[in-house]
Structure 1
Amino acid sequence: MSNISGASSGSSSTWRGRVVGVPTVCWCGAQIVGKISKSDPNPYRRYFRCAYAVSNKLMDDNHVFKWVDEALLNEVERLSSEAKTLEQMVKENEIVFDGVEYEKMVFDKGLMKVEKEVFEKVECVFREAKTNMKKMMILVIIGCMIIVGFVKLI
């Protein structure tokens, strides 16, 4: 396979196992770069290629080469499979989810609601007490001033 022609019939090259999905590193340790084919069979088709193979213009080697559309299709298939597995796990957990756990969850929600209501009422009473305390302090100060005023008159 050429780094400029991509003369592959559409399958990705194999290197110590098949590349599944979007490659990130070649087996040689080099990064993967995106290129565009300039060949007649695959004009302007995008592909992934080993940066080492590109820099050395290697052809028909065993470094990573993969068409972008194939890589993305692999990724979609892999993610679809993972989603199906997760859906199955959720369904299995719903079956295992028995009444005791449901009741515990409902109880916890109810408890949180009651705690919130109690907290709000305590806050309201605290604010009211604080307001009343300020009024009392003002009355005490005014009373002291009146007493001091009477004492000075006598």
Structure 2
Amino acid sequence: MSNESGNSSGVSSARARGRVVGVPKRCWCGELVIPLMSKSTANPNRRYFRCAFAVEKKLSNDNHAYKWVDEALLDEVEALSFRIGRLEQTILSERMEEERKKFEVFELKLETDICARMEDVVSEAKCEVKKALVLVF
């Protein structure tokens, strides 16, 4: 497949060696993947990635790497969006955990303060009861 696209539908077909998600770096054969521009009438000037070996040997309808640039970049954007979503969830989970820990510390402090105040009130009440008993007897 020289500098022309043999795929007139405008969609990269899944190759026998497996579909590459995102921008291909190397072909299954080990060769680098290079960017080219279609000269076909169906896809004029549309950019694509192609195995350098297949380009050099002018192979067509083979199993070497071939992918439209726009599809590859869309794959990359979708993969990054997914990763961003996972990172946002991780950050949100960490923040929620931090807030939960802060709440537990605050709750413990509040319980301690309430217990201390209750002890003060009970202690004052005991003193008042003792005073009242002394006055009665």
* Paired residues of 2:10 and 2:43 also in contact (CA < 8 A): no
Q: Which runs of 4+ in 1 moved over 4 A?
A: none
**Which residue does the alignment assign to 1:4?**
3
What is the rounded CA distance, in whole Å, between the counterparts of 1:41 and 1:20 in structure 2? 24
* Paired residues of 1:12 and 1:19 also in contact (CA < 8 A): no
What is the rounded CA distance, in whole Å, between the counterparts of 1:25 and 1:73 in structure 2? 18
**Which residue does the alignment assign to 1:152?**
none
What is the rounded CA distance, in whole Å, between the counterparts of 1:10 and 1:39 in structure 2? 11
Overall identity of the aligned pairs, in %: 50
Q: Structure 2 counterpart of 1:58, which letter?
A: L
Q: How does 1:20-59 map to 2 (within 5 A)?
A: 20-59=21-60
Q: Structure 2 counterpart of 1:4, which letter?
A: N
Q: Structure 2 counterpart of 1:72, which letter?
A: L
Distance apart, 1:15 and its partner CA: 4.0
Q: Secondary structure at the match of 2:38?
A: strand
Distance apart, 1:46 and its partner CA: 0.6
* Paired residues of 1:7 and 1:42 also in contact (CA < 8 A): no
Structure with the higher helix share, 1 or 2: 1
Distance apart, 1:16 and its partner CA: 2.0
The structure having more radius of gyration, on CA atoms, is 1
Distance apart, 1:17 and its partner CA: 1.6
Q: Structure 2 counterpart of 1:82, which letter?
A: R
Residue 99 in structure 1 maps to residue 92 in structure 2: no
Q: Structure 2 counterpart of 1:67, which letter?
A: W
User: How many residues matched?
Assistant: 101
* Paired residues of 1:35 and 1:46 also in contact (CA < 8 A): yes
**Which residue does the alignment assign to 1:84?**
85
Q: Structure 2 counterpart of 1:19, which letter?
A: V
What is the rounded CA distance, in whole Å, between the counterparts of 2:44 and 2:16 in structure 1? 25
Instruction: Give the TM-score normalised by the residue count of structure 1.
Output: 0.61
Distance apart, 1:7 and its partner CA: 2.5
* Paired residues of 1:7 and 1:41 also in contact (CA < 8 A): no
Structure 1 unaligned segments of length 5 or more: list them: 104-154
Q: Secondary structure at the match of 1:21?
A: coil
What is the rounded CA distance, in whole Å, between the counterparts of 1:3 and 1:66 in structure 2? 14
Residue 62 in structure 1 maps to residue 63 in structure 2: yes
* Paired residues of 2:6 and 2:61 also in contact (CA < 8 A): no
Q: How does 1:93-132 map to 2 (within 5 A)?
A: 93-97=94-98, 98-99=101-102
